Amino acid sequence: MSDAFEDRGKSYEAKYKQDQELAFKVQARRNKLLGLWLAGKFSIEGEAAAAYAKDVVIADLDEPGDEDVIRKVMADIAEHGVDISEDTIREQLETLESAAFEQVKLEFPEALSGDHQGTAG
């Protein structure tokens, strides 16, 4: 009986890990999409746009939540003299989260690795 409980526990742990990885991937993709959207507003193109999007993704590693990203992009908006409000950024984050989820779901339809299947060895 304890094997069944142990297997169930491993399954829950694997599911939790998978959910956390999915959430991280979605948030990173959302931030990348925000960076690309803003790059367009700043008239940044090509590799420079991709680099800016990467900077937005990296900004989210400073602290939990979205405030670090919002601070970064609002400073960039001010620097570029573009008229975009913080409310617009927050709305864009919500909109892009749905798009990011769909993109990530298409890219990773199966378990991300063998340990997500919830089975022992």
Torsion of CA 54, 28, 64, 20, to 10 degrees: -150
- Does any domain span residue 117? no
- Does any domain span residue 63? yes
The pLDDT score that the predictor gives to residue 110 is 61
- Does any domain span residue 48? yes
- Full domain range(s) for residue 21: 2-112
- Does any domain span residue 120? no
- Does any domain span residue 121? no
What CATH number does residue 108 fall under?
A: 1.10.790.20
Q: Pick the closest to residue 69 from 83, 79, 55, 80 (CA basis).
A: 55
Q: Cα(84)–Cα(81) distance, rounded to whole angstroms?
A: 9
Taking all residues of the chain, what is their mean pLDDT, rounded to a whole number?
Answer: 86
Q: Cα(76)–Cα(59) distance, rounded to whole angstroms?
A: 12
Q: Where are the beta strands (DSSP E) in 2-80?
A: none
- Does any domain span residue 23? yes
Over residues 88-107, the mean pLDDT reads: 94
The pLDDT score that the predictor gives to residue 18 is 79
Q: Cα(83)–Cα(92) distance, rounded to whole angstroms?
A: 14
Q: Where are the beta strands (DSSP E) in the chain?
A: none
Over residues 91-101, the mean pLDDT reads: 95
Look at residue 107 and tell me whether its pLDDT is greater than 90. no
- Does any domain span residue 58? yes
Q: What is the pLDDT of residues 49-88, one digit of tens each?
A: 999 999 999 999 888 889 999 999 999 999 999 999 999 9
Q: Pick the closest to residue 25 from 87, 91, 112 (CA basis).
A: 112
Q: How many folded domains does the chain comprise?
A: 1
